[in-house]
Amino acid sequence: MTKERDTNDAPEPDGHAAAARCPVDRHLFPTAEEKQYPLPPSFVDGKVYTDPDQYAREYEKIFMQSWFPVCPSWDVQSPRDLVVWDRLRQSVVITRMDDGRIAAWHNVCQHRGARLVKESGQCKAGKVKCPWHGFAYNLAGEVTNVPLRESFDEATLTNLRATPIRAVEWSGFVWINFSNDAPSLQEYLGDLWGEIGHYRMDGFQTRYRTTVELHANWKVVVDAFNETWHVPFTHQETLAGLMLWRDAKIHVCPPHSWMTLPVAGFTERMKDKADHHGANVCHYLAFPNTIFSCFPTHLQMWTIWPVSAEETIIDAWGIVGPVPAGMSEEAWAKQNERDWAHFLKVVGENSTIINSLGTVAHSKGFGRLMFNTAESRLTAFHEEVKSRIS
């Protein structure tokens, strides 16, 4: 027998009503004997999705300490390209320097705190000027000119610059971390460094993107996209006949997790089924908020950004590899269009459920919530969150 565990120390209820007995389709329900599910059932207190104090701790101890991708390298492809990234109550400038390096810095003038750069684009002059008092900055974020310099204390102007942010270009994206004490990106990703790196996304193109606003806690959104048991119910028209969700194999590599998901009509044809990258969809959660859904030749990727305790934004990208052998450019482009349209429909189906959860999150009936063995990734995720904010 599997042992239930509570990832948030929620008390056991006084009792449960007997489960209603009705005919069910048994193949829809996981069993304790299915070894691809590594963790036993667990519980969380519903307050983890609504408590503003927990949200504040998550912001400081998780989001201000973790690595996450913020924009495709494609967005800063050429020298003097820049991106203004506004998430997590931060505004960040990411730039491509003349020597090809990436720089990132807080989009805040060091004089009186004005926002320096309004929007993404090309900075042909190689410098930006504060719109309030004219302080000038180069693309590394260093102050290069101070109007009325003689009227300031010269000591305060020495080596003055916008506060830098750690930035690494890897696998086709620019990743940032707000903490100087966090480990390197490679160390942080651990097993996912090789798993995601296998796809060599620096040779892919980011062709599609969208943003979705949701009325729910960010962890609800992570939960929704990290288990497959809802597929035959929520995604009857889009995924139920395509993804062999029952055969998904879950791997937990704290703080991250991933799974292999066989595809009907594809995986069984593959001669080398031991090559999990080539025979399955590989689905990764890079803790805390980035998901990669990787097909052998293309992928969708999305990041989940908290706006408040009960508001969330998803930034999503469709990323396309080179034209597969034996396929024309035109046929590949049409397939990519179909795949992206399909992905948007799946996101829409999930969003409907996620938003409905947001409307009942403060209900008296929203108490202790349960995860089964097929939802092992959710158990692992919530245990990681709890360990970091405790």
- CB count in 10 Å sphere of residue 379: 25
Both 158 and 88 in one domain: the answer is yes
Both 137 and 235 in one domain: the answer is no
Bridge partners of 300, per DSSP, are 293, 318
* Residue range 222-246, pLDDT digits in tens: 999 999 999 999 999 999 989 998 8
Supply the pLDDT for residue 153.
Answer: 96
Domain, as residue range, for 269? 5-65+191-389
pLDDT over 90 (residue 294): yes
Mean pLDDT across 192-218 = 96
Instruction: Flag the least confident range among 8-17, 44-53, 217-226.
Output: 8-17
Both 110 and 199 in one domain: the answer is no
pLDDT over 50 (residue 253): yes
For 181, which DSSP code? S
Supply the pLDDT for residue 19.
Answer: 29
What rounded mean pLDDT belongs to the chain? 91
How crowded is the C-beta side of 92, counted as CA atoms within 13 Å? Answer: 23
* Residue range 2-34, pLDDT digits in tens: 455 655 544 333 332 322 333 334 455 566 666
Supply the pLDDT for residue 267.
Answer: 87
What pLDDT band is residue 35 in, cutting at 50, 70 and 90?
confident
Q: Tell me if 186 is assigned to some domain.
A: no
Both 150 and 273 in one domain: the answer is no
Instruction: Flag the least confident range among 9-18, 164-173, 227-236, 369-378.
Output: 9-18
Supply the pLDDT for residue 32.
Answer: 60
Both 293 and 327 in one domain: the answer is yes
* Residue range 61-118, pLDDT digits in tens: 999 999 999 999 999 999 999 999 999 999 999 999 999 999 999 999 999 999 999 9
Q: How many domains does the chain have?
A: 2
Both 348 and 229 in one domain: the answer is yes
List the Cα angle 244/227/358 in 5-degree steps: 135
Both 297 and 177 in one domain: the answer is no
For 130, which DSSP code? -
Q: What type of residue sits at position 64?
A: M
Both 176 and 201 in one domain: the answer is no
User: Are 368 and 49 in contact, with CB atoms under 8 Å apart?
Assistant: no
pLDDT over 60 (residue 133): yes
Both 361 and 384 in one domain: the answer is yes
Bridge partners of 303, per DSSP, are 290, 315
CATH of the domain at 25: 3.90.380.10
Q: Tell me if 362 is assigned to some domain.
A: yes
